[in-house]
Chains A and B, each alone.
Chain A
Amino acid sequence: MALLSYSIRRILMLIPVLLGMSIVVFSIIRAIPGDPALTILGEKASAKAIADLREVLGLNNPWYIQYFDYLKQIITGDLGVSLHTGASIAKEIGPYLAATTELTIFSMCFAVFIGVNAGIISAWKQNSWFDYTAMLIALIGVSMPIFWLGLMEQWFFAQELKWLPSVGRDNPRDPVQAITHFYIVDSIMAGRWDQFRDVVEHLILPGIALGTIPMAIIARITRSSMLEVMRADYVRTARAKGMAQFGVVYKHALKNAMIPVLTVIGLQTGLLLGGAVLTETIFGWPGVGRYIFTAIGNRDYPVIQSGILVIATIFVLINLLVDLLYAYIDPRIKYR
């Protein structure tokens, strides 16, 4: 019951957060110079055409009128229409979100699996060669420019070894029939295992590029958190009782070390879901990051505003989920 009311309160808190954020986004995009009418019409437009279009788009109204118009529209659940494509944003953003989510899940699975295990083993075998190597790799990982990593991956695994495809989500010669826009799910629904394999192959390179930084962060947090827990009395007791080291580490220590790790996983997942512009650009991934990034270049105000609104909502919800998970890990945590 406490859990339910806590969740409701947290969800209600979304309202001021999103309201504040919408004001910030709204002001920032209007503060940057550049005229959406000009960007829609292109560098060749005549002055009159631009003036006409500004009128049609309502850009000549004072900013607060524009803001309240926008707010009214959002409250009725309408995300607006893209200035650049003329299509409904609610309709447009769906496939982009699916593409980004699919890539995020894949990257985070990679990052969590490698990161957590590397962190545990490093802590368990502290100061061993494994520990040193893993932490060196993690250090390189956090400081790795994704742009460079992505291009190197493409060059090595696609161009030189020809093991994996370099760009996109599926093979354009045999495209996946988009139903849910999660291509893994779509290919399974179609019973096309060859396409399923193809989709997974397309996920690997961008997944690793995107997952490298979270993996390195997770490994380092897991290691330091584990080291702390491993010195705790109850761990010593478990050992003294003659419990096998593996059991001590994975059963007793890991659970208590998980809280900071989980926080980091949640934050990183939220970040990746916001769309990774660089990864999406290099790998031609039609995700939400590139959608909003292109919109900034086009001064496509409705897309920037609504897109960021959607992403912020997701980010807050994921953090709420993480907070709720704490209770499962540590029953001492109570929600009020």
Chain B
Amino acid sequence: MKKRILSATMTSLLAISMLLAGCSQTTQAPPTEPAKTEQPAPTPAPEPAKSEPKQLIVGRGGDSAGLDPIRETDGESFKVTENIFDTLVGYEEESTKVVPSLAEKWEISEDGLTYTFTLRQGVKFHDGTDFNAEAVKWNFERWMDKSNPFHNQDGYYYYNDMFGGYKGDPNHVIKSVEAVDPHTVKFTLNYPLAPFIQNLGMSPFAIASPTAVQAAGADGFTEKPVGTGPFKFKEWKRNDTITLEKNPDYWNAGYPKVDTLVFKSIPENTARLTALINGEIDLMDGLNPDDAETVQGNSDLQLILRPSMNVGYIGFNVEKKPFDNPKVREAIAYAINKPAIVEAFFAGLGQPAVNPMPPTLWGHNDSIKDREFNLEKAKQLLAEAGFPNGFKTQFWAMPVPRPYMPDGVKIAEAIQQDLKQIGIETEIVTMEWATYLEKTRIGEQTMFMLGWTGDNGDPDNFLATLLDKNNIDGNNNTRWANDEASQLMMKAKQANTQSEREQLYKQVQEIIFKEVPMVPLAHSTPALAARANIVDYKPHPKGSESLEKVDIK
């Protein structure tokens, strides 16, 4: 009896494997067909015919954390939510200049305390309810009021950060939101905040359908997002695909161009490129800089560059000796061969940085001329600082590639060689990414590397975030505390006109350049690749964008 069961099991096992092996054979060479001299057809059908619905498959490295924009902080989430939702104001196609979106126009009072928005009429959420002033008010109240039943208990990172906390907090900027009439909404502020309008364009501050949030619950909405955007949410297979469908009633007439938009997670950069070459996907981000040439050499593909909104830098923990001495920091600035590093490691997809903010932003100080690579000058400065024979130090290198730092350890090794020539012996230290972030935040590092990608295209978001003394233990990992610079930045934050702010930020950049708390290394232009038939794709500097205009020819 037992014998038979065993042999039956074995036989069926063998049968299954033969069946599966058989399947694989038929795909490789169909035996039923006469052996013609035809090429094996590529598996997926690449070009959709005119009559067929247009599908755009976007390959990317990771999955979204969630799809309720206000709760999210990661770029992978915003890449999707920007296609489902709209914000009150938007940004220009390739810059961070504010343009109308759900709000057609707005007025700012003289004292900078009242913002009155005129909303676009006839806009509907995907669930059929009306977008109006009440909906805007409802969203802001959900975000700002911790006692609101639809406020999430873990809070909203960007709201807290950009608007000074929540209702009742001393620095909270929004005093009230009023629906004056169905198409007019008025914001009253507690104090003037110059980047206010700039902030409203950020991806997290997207207007959600109040009815849908109420129906799904504060926690459930992240899996059932409903907005006014060009695409409607359809399906989410976690770590695999997120599928969106065209919103036929989109207010921006004529858009979107494609019928289905699919975001597919393919973690490995090389595998993602293979899938693109094979036609399984149409568009991909996170191209390895080294693969840019492959893409350019393939007539089926095109290389697309995202305008830079980042900075990669070498920082010094100014609380630790000998980096408390500005001369030592300046000596190292002279000893880093920036152009050579950018040339070698950014594969032509970056430019050497002078200031801690990219030149694509308004307020960038173009008049500052960078220090040239000069080892003699570096040695001289070291000697003046009291280290004629150099010193030994640790150099913390990033363990993961980021757009602003494609290969941390290799770049550190290159800098290590340069520093050796002026007598500075560096030991390269690296650790797992989460650990790296935490330790550099609390100041365990000495000399280190990090970077920043902008959120809202405001200079404050680079300069103050990275170097304001109030952001020590936050993102000011150099722990540089300069009263003059901090005061100027505070003044700029509250100034009324953009030209006034511009002047103040330029002054701040001069102080930073003189004091050298960090050596800005490069601004990179992240590389993307697409099939040759994809048109009108304009990546936005902030790292994510609506794909409504993208078309397949």
Contacts and interface: CB of A to CB of B under 8 A. Distances in A.
Given A44-B73, A113-B21, A291-B239, A166 B438 contact: no
A327 B3 CA distance: 10
Interface in A20-61: 32-35, 38-49, 52-53, 56-57
A42 B157 contact: yes
A328 B2 CA distance: 5
A172 B264 contact: yes
B303 interface: no
Given A110-B20, A284-B265, A47 B240 contact: no
A110 B473 contact: no
B44 A173 contact: yes
Interface stretch (B22-30, B329-337, B497-505): B22-30
A310 interface: no
A167 B265 CA distance: 10
Interface string B257-283: 000001011111011101101101100
A85 B277 CA distance: 32
B278 A165 contact: yes
Q: For B6, B24, B240, which residue has the most chain A Cβ atoms within 10 angstroms?
A: B240
Interface stretch (B9-17, B488-496, B517-525, B527-535): B9-17
Contact of A167 (B27, B239, B266): B266
A106 interface: yes
A166 B277 CA distance: 10
Contact of A168 (B20, B157, B266, B465): B266
Given A34-B438, A44-B73, A44-B475, A159 B278 contact: yes
Contact of A85 (B27, B55, B66): B66
B266 A284 contact: yes
Nearest to A88: B219
A129 interface: no
B439 interface: yes
B221 to A, nearest CB: 10
Contact of A56 (B65, B154, B264, B434): B154
Nearest to A151: B270
A144 B270 CA distance: 19
A167 B441 CA distance: 37
B155 A53 contact: yes
Given A112-B13, A113-B18, A197-B27, A173 B238 contact: no
A22 B435 CA distance: 23
Given A41-B73, A95-B238, A164 B27 contact: yes
Contact of A151 (B73, B241, B271): B271
Interface residues of B, number: 75
Contacts of A240: none
Nearest to B77: A85
B237 A286 contact: yes
A155 interface: yes
Nearest to B465: A44
A130 B464 CA distance: 70
A154 B271 contact: yes
A38 B434 contact: yes
A62 interface: no
A204 interface: yes
Contacts of A169: 240
B107 interface: no
Interface string A155-175: 100110111111111011101
A42 B160 CA distance: 14
A167 B432 contact: no
Contacts of B239: 96, 286, 290-291, 294
A282 B268 contact: yes
B161 interface: yes
A263 interface: no
A204 B30 CA distance: 16
A77 interface: no
Contacts of B277: 159
25 contacts: A33-B438, A33-B439, A38-B437, A42-B74, A45-B73, A45-B157, A46-B471, A57-B154, A86-B222, A154-B271, A158-B278, A165-B44, A168-B264, A172-B57, A173-B45, A175-B235, A197-B27, A200-B23, A200-B24, A201-B43, A204-B24, A204-B27, A286-B237, A286-B240, A290-B239
